[in-house]
Amino acid sequence: MVNFSYRVFAAVVEKKTFFHAAESLNVTPSAVSHSISQLENELGFPLFLRNHSGVELTNDGKTVLPVIQAILNTEEELYQVSASIKGLNSGRIRIGAFSSVCINWLPTIIRRFKNQYPQVEVTVFQGNFNQIADGVSNGSIDIGFSSLPVDDKLLVEPLIKDRIYCVAPSDFVPKDKMNVTNQDIGRRRFILQQIDYDRDTKKALDQYNVTPNSLTYSIDDQSILSMVESGLGLGILPELALKKLSGNVHIYPFDKNFARTICLVTNKNLAQAPSTKRMLKEINSFLRSNYKNQFLG
């Protein structure tokens, strides 16, 4: 059995407070505090900085996080292999995904998976591309959905090309009636999420000389549509993000073909766990069925 202090450490990292870590472990906050103090004494350096809102890792704590997480993951893999040998459906899957994957893909994927393996626990973390890649890298996420490029230390499987579109108010019509060009954009403002403006969105807008002072930021994809609908600017969103959004807007392709490549990322040490392999198989089956020749896997 792995040192309990390691489990406490991982819980505090995930929950950000001793109180919520204690709740997740079904122990008292004082037991969590004592366990962390004991581990810090054993290692010889502090692991957390305490502040008014909770705790955050010290630089030394960030260094030992992937090592401790690897120990916990190895024990989990041992239990999964043992359960597989005995013919039991048990284990745990931690999935990291961005919002449009959480909305459009994961409900069906998880439902199908749970129908086959009802005893396997599935949890979902929603975050941005960098948070997901970091979680997979340090071992706190088993399977992540991200967008290329990704750290080459991880196992990466391209899934689909997700085309990027311009979202416009209902009274907006491109000059050629079909595609949005630089002439259509002019000095118009664009509304997007702050976290998106470092990858494919930026590449697309740079092609049309859209400057940072022409950008307005919104909190989520549906809010972008609402702001575009109100005539506050143009939006730019990938096809997957548009699938379940609603609003009185028009969707046009740009005259240049922009797309992001959605991919799966896994940790080389975790990809062989039985429950992870089963989930990867279910993900591939779902996407192959839904995207046919567009599926890159």
pLDDT tens profile 274-291: 888 889 999 999 999 999
What ranges in 86-120 are assigned the alpha helix state H?
99-104, 106-116
How many C-beta atoms lie closer than 10 Å to residue 29's C-beta? 14
Q: pLDDT confidence of 219, banded at 50, 70, 90?
A: confident
Distance CA 193, CA 163 (A): 17
Q: pLDDT confidence of 9, banded at 50, 70, 90?
A: very high
Distance CA 146, CA 129 (A): 5
pTM of structure? 0.74
How many C-beta atoms lie closer than 10 Å to residue 195's C-beta? 15
The pLDDT > 90 percentage for the chain reads 62
Q: pLDDT value at position 94?
A: 94
Q: pLDDT value at position 226?
A: 94
CATH topology of domain 1-85: Arc Repressor Mutant, subunit A (1.10.10)
DSSP 226-243: HHHHTTS-EEEEEHHHHT
| Highest-confidence segment of 27-36, 129-138, 160-169, 180-189 | 160-169
Q: pLDDT value at position 101?
A: 96
Distance CA 230, CA 88 (A): 54
Residues 6 or more apart in contact with residue 69 via CB below 8 angstroms: 10, 138, 139, 140
- 21 near 15, Cβ under 8 Å? yes
Per-residue pLDDT tens for 85-96? 665 567 789 999
- 236 near 164, Cβ under 8 Å? yes
In the DSSP assignment, the letter for residue 254 is B
Per-residue pLDDT tens for 28-38? 989 999 999 99
Per-residue pLDDT tens for 60-74? 999 999 999 989 888
| Highest-confidence segment of 13-17, 143-147, 215-219 | 143-147
CATH topology of domain 160-258: D-Maltodextrin-Binding Protein; domain 2 (3.40.190)
How many C-beta atoms lie closer than 10 Å to residue 92's C-beta? 16
Q: Which strand (E) or helix (H) includes residue 194?
A: none
3-class secondary structure, 9: helix
Q: pLDDT value at position 1?
A: 62
Rounded CA Rg of the chain: 22
How many C-beta atoms lie closer than 10 Å to residue 25's C-beta? 18
Distance CA 217, CA 18 (A): 34
Domain boundaries, the chain: 1-85, 160-258
Question: Phi then psi for 202, rounded to 5 degrees?
Answer: -65, -40
- 172 near 135, Cβ under 8 Å? no
